[in-house]
Structure 1
């Protein structure tokens, strides 16, 4: 049995459609009236959008119901599904904690509430009956002010027992006017030993080379091998890993055909740049991580050797995997031990 590491999954897009619809039916009369039948909700929730910005608007639908009171409900079901249906051994869950605090509070009050959200997510993720190693990545957001993003970095530093890294989200086409500010925040994070990733080079309008040196992993990054392959040697030298989320690019209109990813994988493997295959928003896509691997194999975008390399890369580049080996190697060694020594 293959065991997987998921390095790029958003809390806001992780809730599968059926569970979200049931929640609305029980607790949100407005949305229950809007979607009285499940098929219409699933079609709305999982259909492809024309742009990344349009796609990201769906996150607001979920962020509004992922409160301090409801997060344990959603996370328990997330962990259960990840263990039973996806064979996940490791999961990094990313989100912007500020956007899970009450909108009616002042900015200062919402910042103060973020620590509570991180603690709730951390405790809810520790489900003993479904033993997955979990950690959180806190997302700075392109549409939040600097002081809030700075507070998110500080929170990552303070909550090391739950948080393994910071990220930058909100649409990579919205960073341009704030690059100096964002670089300063990344420098601040790295000076405190915080791991870093960031959504960049996902879309043609999100190519910001000045951010690349500050990232240990690159969220998506497909435009580098597609449009800027001259950057690949620098990525290989820095040991950076791309977090590739195949279904996302069809859902956001970034790619027209999955087959376009073959160039991404071929050029990265040739240059020695690691790739971790991820889901991004498993609920929005109604897709699970093993299917992403299977789909790439079915369309001959990768072969089995490359698939295994991506599986190994995910554990090697995981920020909080506590072992020196991926679980498959550990399990193989255990099964080969003589019975008398067990």
Structure 2
């Protein structure tokens, strides 16, 4: 089994249907039956119904312990597929809305990470993400909260949400604050919006990685610039196909990006919603074992883990 690593997966988006039902029952809730199809998978038809399903799944989360169970469940499953390292996108917005303190939430996530490492040997880390459409002031406040309570497992800062709202430059103060305090930085760009989104991100934000970034393939000059800078793309082919960005994996620009010299990684994004896993992304990428091993190394090199952890992980995945 090829050793794998992942740097683009959303915490709440990793909840499998079975766990969602278990969490809901534990919290005295009943999830709506139309959330699932006849096979027990999440049911949605387009981007907006996907977001609606995502939000309804999240209603099963009520206590700090629930977040522990989610990250543990994902890390355990990824480890069984050969993953040695996962960075999880985690937003403090949802626990805050539930009245869970940032400290309690982080402690719960850390417990899940520690339990998974003890049982499966997988290393987990956290990227705190702001929600783009909630605005730059909220993002800066989030960074300040992150800095006020540092945790060794929190290694980076990023941004998800509606790519069409606001401009990357609006979030430059938040990103500079994170970067200047030693946190790695990434941003979702070039997924729904075209290459101009990626140009703006690498121009205005101190990012070394782009979440998705696949629309960069529409602009040869941008691919050349990404290759020149060594910016790494967190590519999620299964997600892109499921959401209709591309009709099938054969049409996906993964191979064009690689051919252009762009550094890429393979990731699952919101795996149970898109009927994928990290293992499936490696299996269906259409790459040989040498190329997949190189992608795993790139993922570790591009991770926001500390130098010693990166070195140890690279030793684990080297042949």
Whether the TM-score (by the shorter chain) exceeds 0.5 is yes
- Number of the residue aligned with 1:141: 131
Contact 2:132 2:165 in 1 (8 A): yes
Q: Which secondary structure state, in structure 1, belongs to the residue aligned with residue 134 of structure 2?
A: coil
Q: Which secondary structure state, in structure 1, belongs to the residue aligned with residue 317 of structure 2?
A: helix
- How many residue pairs were aligned? 308
- Number of the residue aligned with 1:336: none
Structure 1 281/22 Cα, relative in aligned 2: closer, same or farther at 3 Å? Answer: same
5+ residue gaps, structure 2: none
Matched, 1:68 2:77: no
- 1:281-337 C-alpha deviation (Å, 9 max, x unpaired): 12222322111111122xxxx3444323212211221111614224222xx5xxxxx
- 1:118-155 C-alpha deviation (Å, 9 max, x unpaired): 22212221111122111100111113243331122224
Distance in structure 2 (CA, Å) of the matches to 1:46 and 1:238: 40
Contact 1:156 1:194 in 2 (8 A): no
Structure 1 286/326 Cα, relative in aligned 2: closer, same or farther at 3 Å? Answer: farther
Distance in structure 1 (CA, Å) of the matches to 2:315 and 2:38: 41
- Number of the residue aligned with 1:212: 202
Structure 1 25/119 Cα, relative in aligned 2: closer, same or farther at 3 Å? Answer: closer
- Number of the residue aligned with 1:42: 40
Kindly report which structure 2 residues correspond to 1:1-342, keeping only aligned pairs within 5 A, or say none: 1-31=1-31, 34-35=32-33, 40=38, 42-43=40-41, 45=42, 47=44, 49-51=45-47, 53-66=48-61, 67-84=63-80, 86-103=81-98, 113-127=101-115, 128-157=118-147, 158-176=149-167, 179-204=168-193, 207-208=196-197, 209-213=199-203, 214-225=206-217, 227-261=218-252, 263-266=253-256, 268-297=257-286, 302-320=287-305, 322-324=309-311, 325-329=314-318, 332=319
Structure 1 25/116 Cα, relative in aligned 2: closer, same or farther at 3 Å? Answer: closer
Alignment TM-score, normalising by the size of structure 2: 0.87
Contact 2:194 2:215 in 1 (8 A): no
RMSD: 2.5
Structure 1 73/304 Cα, relative in aligned 2: closer, same or farther at 3 Å? Answer: closer
Structure 1 36/257 Cα, relative in aligned 2: closer, same or farther at 3 Å? Answer: closer
Distance in structure 2 (CA, Å) of the matches to 1:161 and 1:117: 14
Cα offset, 1:28, TM superposition:
4.3
Distance in structure 2 (CA, Å) of the matches to 1:80 and 1:270: 33
Q: Which secondary structure state, in structure 2, belongs to the residue aligned with residue 275 of structure 1?
A: strand
Contact 1:10 1:94 in 2 (8 A): yes
Structure 1 41/21 Cα, relative in aligned 2: closer, same or farther at 3 Å? Answer: farther
